[in-house]
Amino acid sequence: MSSHRPEHAQVASPAALRPLYAAGFVTAFGAHSIAASLGGYTHDQHASLLTLGLLLAVYDGAEVVGKPVFGTLADRIGARPVLLGGLVAFALASAGFVLADDPALVGIARLGQGIAAAAFSPAAGSLVARLTPEHARGHRFGNYGAWKGLGYTLGPVLGGILVTAGGYRLLFTVLTVLALTAAAWALAAVPATPPLPRTRETLLDLARRLTSAGFVPPTLALASATAAIAVGVGFLPVAGAAHGLSPLATGAVVSLLAATAALVQPRAGRAHDTGRLAARTGLTLGLVLAAGGAATAAAAAGPVTVTVAAVLIGVGTGITTPIGFARLAATTPPERLGQTLGAAEVGRELGDAGGPLLVGALASIATLTIGMLSLAALLTATAAAAWAGSGRRRPQSPPTAPS
């Protein structure tokens, strides 16, 4: 259990956290609803595949660069203003595209959305941690992850429907309304969380904290779980199609994976909170299950094994994610939560990009089976590291000089 500054504990009701879950939905839905339709956009605009790649990467790239910066800002000025500012900025970026009515500006709008998401995403995670007692953090982070999972699941489907019905202007209009609604809800329901007193931290202190046993194993676990689910979403349809599954059936497999992860997260978090699933055991179990899913996909012999692979990856990532975030929150000084969660989110973004890149590269020079088996081996190695690293906690020496 953490012993960091209990005098600064601030607890909010479950209802006060729901706008934070909505913020998670906004960033996930916004990212995937646009990304899923960019192939058709580039075709209509006669753009190259390089342009498509840049449009897909710009959102995640902005998040990788921005999350540590805005996480640190949330610690300095308070997470609530950064949350509200990020949601409003997301709405403005979306509304700007609608008002400009120029399809060529979709890249700029997506960059603006990514920068905004880089602000409100770590701020939302920091608020979930600060406003929740430690014994309930797993469940609350599970709820937060479930809402993000819902955004990932619904984004491609609803985004496609909106673009078909009214083009990109309708999609961006809906995103504007969603972001403003979440901002207004957060303004009304989320309590103010003033910044906590901070001791001066040198670069050496920061390096020690970000290489400690409280940070590295859960962050590696979160990055690996994100890589597993990204690979599942991208490559299970390829495995299914190779065995005769229709696009509708492979889409159902991907939806099953996302839905499984969303349903498991709150339950895994609650099991962690009640002591039935320790952090060390949960992180290891989740990664082993995800590795089993990747291995099953590698050996896919038909629709049943592809479905089993999707369920295993969904359950594994659903266990790992809330426990990883709860572990990070429990081992981080509360006045550094934004910075720590922002850095951990960078790990997740790298896993989101690196997993599919690894499997795709290996599949191109060998076979998809080799790519999936390599992912399974990587997840197994990360599980071993989680078991070895989460069982110990490096003591953190508090800096002495006041800021």
More confident residue, 195 or 97: 97
Do 173 and 249 sit in the same domain of this protein?
no
Nearest Cα to Cα of residue 119 among 154, 157, 84, 145? 84
- Enumerate residues 6+ apart whose C-beta is below 8 A from 364: none
CA distance 401 to 403: 7
Helices (H), 3-134: 14-35, 38-44, 49-77, 79-100, 106-130
Do 216 and 311 sit in the same domain of this protein?
yes
Residue 255 to residues 236, 261, 354, Cα–Cα distance (Å): 11, 10, 22
Span of 44-58, 106-120, 169-183, 245-259 with lowest mean pLDDT: 44-58
Do 314 and 344 sit in the same domain of this protein?
yes
Partnered with residue 402 across adjacent β-strands are 199
Question: Taking the CB of residue 246, how many other CB atoms lie within 10 A of it?
Answer: 10
Q: Is the pLDDT of residue 107 over 90?
A: no
Name the most confidently modeled range: 58-62, 202-206, 368-372.
Answer: 368-372
Confirm whether 400 is domain-assigned. Answer: no
Q: Which H helix or E strand runs over 48?
A: none
Domain count, the chain: 2
Domain-terminating residue out of 129, 156, 189: 189
Confirm whether 105 is domain-assigned. Answer: yes
Q: Is the pLDDT of residue 277 over 80?
A: yes
Confirm whether 4 is domain-assigned. Answer: no
CATH number for the domain including 239? 1.20.1250.20
Nearest Cα to Cα of residue 380 among 308, 283, 256? 283
Do 250 and 164 sit in the same domain of this protein?
no
DSSP annotation string for 339-386: HHHHHHHHHHHHHHHHHHHHHHHHHHHS-HHHHHHHHHHHHHHHHHHH
Confirm whether 310 is domain-assigned. Answer: yes
Q: What is the pLDDT of residue 49?
A: 55
Q: What is the pLDDT of residue 4?
A: 46
DSSP annotation string for 98-128: HHHT-GGGHHHHHHHHHHHHHHHHHHHHHHH
Q: What is the pLDDT of residue 397?
A: 40
Partnered with residue 199 across adjacent β-strands are 402
Nearest Cα to Cα of residue 80 among 19, 123, 132, 129? 123
Binning pLDDT at 50, 70 and 90, where does residue 178 land?
Answer: very high
Sign of the Cα torsion 319, 321, 327, 330 reads negative
Do 76 and 183 sit in the same domain of this protein?
yes
Confirm whether 8 is domain-assigned. Answer: no
Say if CB 247 and CB 305 are below 8 A apart. no
More confident residue, 392 or 277: 277
Domain-terminating residue out of 124, 155, 189: 189
Do 291 and 323 sit in the same domain of this protein?
yes
Do 159 and 222 sit in the same domain of this protein?
no
Distance in Å from the first CA to the final CA of the chain: 27
Do 181 and 59 sit in the same domain of this protein?
yes
The whole-number average pLDDT for the span 20-48 is 78
Say if CB 87 and CB 27 are below 8 A apart. no
Lookup: tokens for 44: 């209509």
More confident residue, 241 or 43: 241
Say if CB 232 and CB 310 are below 8 A apart. yes
Nearest Cα to Cα of residue 372 among 221, 224, 239, 249? 239
Question: Taking the CB of residue 402, how many other CB atoms lie within 10 A of it?
Answer: 8
Do 358 and 329 sit in the same domain of this protein?
yes
More confident residue, 261 or 205: 261
DSSP annotation string for 204-262: HHHHHHTTSTTTHHHHHHHHHHHHHHHHHHHHHHHHHHHTT--HHHHHHHHHHHHHHHH
Per-residue pLDDT of 302-356, as tens digits, reads: 888 999 999 999 999 999 999 999 999 888 888 888 888 888 888 888 888 888 8
Domain-terminating residue out of 126, 158, 189: 189
More confident residue, 175 or 344: 175
Say if CB 195 and CB 335 are below 8 A apart. yes
Confirm whether 112 is domain-assigned. Answer: yes
Do 271 and 380 sit in the same domain of this protein?
yes
Confirm whether 384 is domain-assigned. Answer: yes
Nearest Cα to Cα of residue 20 among 97, 62, 95, 82? 82
Question: Taking the CB of residue 329, how many other CB atoms lie within 10 A of it?
Answer: 27
Q: Is the pLDDT of residue 57 over 90?
A: no
The whole-number average pLDDT for the span 13-29 is 92
Do 121 and 178 sit in the same domain of this protein?
yes
Nearest Cα to Cα of residue 167 among 300, 37, 68? 37
Do 132 and 220 sit in the same domain of this protein?
no
Confirm whether 63 is domain-assigned. Answer: yes
Q: What domain range is 91 assigned to?
A: 13-189
Amino acid at residue number 3 = S
Q: Is the pLDDT of residue 7 over 80?
A: no
Per-residue pLDDT of 181-240, as tens digits, reads: 999 999 999 998 888 766 666 666 666 777 777 888 999 999 999 999 888 887 888 888
Q: Is the pLDDT of residue 3 over 80?
A: no
The whole-number average pLDDT for the span 273-285 is 94
